[in-house]
Amino acid sequence: MAWVNAIVQGILLGGLYAVLATGLSVGFGVMRLTNLAHGDMAILAAFMAFSISTSFKISPLVALLVILPGAFVFGLLLQRFVFDRLIGGDPSLQIVATFGLSIVIQNGLKKKYTADTRGLNLGKLATRSIRITKGLTIGVLPLITFLCGVGVLVLLALFLSRTKMGRAFRATSDDPDTAQLMGVDKRRVYATATGITMLTVALAGVLYGAKSSFDPFIGPATLIFAFEAVIIGGLGSLWGTLAGGIALGVAQAIGLKINAGYGELAGHALFLGVLATRPRGMFGKLDNR
């Protein structure tokens, strides 16, 4: 039964990874751009939630509501001033520029908050749990996180399939030049995509901070989890991102159960195994160019 418990925890964790990974998926799918500072931006959001909730004595979830619109605007600015010059260009410049951002954010956070670990205090919510059967209890927070993961993907899927801008996203992802011929403004699409990505990043950051303690340098670890979830699930597939996140979460949970030091390694092992044997991932559609 303890194993079932572990696997369930892994599945719920997968929801968090799915939120983290969605931003990477959108960025790569629409713009062929990978932001190495993705994880650091999530942690930045966690620190902002920390500052806001401690200064104004409000719950971090309420702080999140304040952060979200700011995150969207941040995304628009990020696209306008940084990503716009990188899209369609030499990938090494993308890597270098976003890596540089990553280091700037990490060190900026360290300067402001010191290297101490922090946590987001959700009060009673953090400890509440639901008892499913004997031996199996689910924490309310992990459940909410998982539902957020599913929710984000459902919203994104609806957005892509039902809205005018969503269609423009898909067309731009297929063929940006022909999309322009249809009247689609590439730059507006990219800006919106980055804005949406930053929304998911902010949400992921706050959920992460609620679940575990964080420090200024933990961003890259979250980037790696997001990345592994995308690769395991397969590029180009939204539901693959959820499946990948869950697979990663479960692998880590199983690893943790075997030995307290093996959690991350088990996840890496799964990732490497997928790369070695089935590089397209579970539901992959795109080339990982």
Angle 272-274-4 from CA coordinates, rounded to 5°: 95
Give the binding range for other proteins (CB under 8 A) out of 47-55, 99-107, 131-139, 195-203: 99-107
Phi, psi of 187 (to 5 degrees): -70, -35
Site for other proteins in 12-71 (CB under 8 A): 28, 33-34, 36
> Which of residues 208 and 227 has its CB atom nearest to other proteins in the complex?
227
Phi, psi of 118 (to 5 degrees): -125, 170
108/102 Cα distance (integer angstroms): 10
> Which of 210, 268, 247 lies closest to 14, judged by CA?
247
Measured from the CB of residue 217, what is the shortest distance to other proteins in angstroms? 7
Q: How many residues bind other proteins (CB under 8 A)?
A: 63
6/38 Cα distance (integer angstroms): 28
Among 78, 144, 223, 238, binds other proteins (CB under 8 A): 223
Site for other proteins in 265-284 (CB under 8 A): 265, 268, 271-272, 275-276, 279
What x-and-dash track marks residues 229-268 binding other proteins by CB under 8 A? --x-----------------------------xx-xx--x
Query: What is the signed CA dihedral for 97, 222, 195, 233, rounded to 10 degrees?
Result: 110
Residue/partner pairs of 86-94 with CB below 8 Å, 24 or more apart: 86/33, 87/31, 87/32, 87/33, 87/190, 88/32, 88/176, 94/33, 94/34
> Which of residues 143 and 171 has its CB atom nearest to other proteins in the complex?
171
Among 54, 68, 108, 282, binds other proteins (CB under 8 A): 108
> Which of residues 210 and 238 has its CB atom nearest to other proteins in the complex?
238
33/156 Cα distance (integer angstroms): 18
Measured from the CB of residue 245, what is the shortest distance to other proteins in angstroms? 16
Tell whether residue 82 is a contact of other proteins (CB under 8 A): yes
> Which of residues 53 and 194 has its CB atom nearest to other proteins in the complex?
194
Chain position carrying tokens 């890496």: 268
Among 5, 54, 59, 180, binds other proteins (CB under 8 A): 180
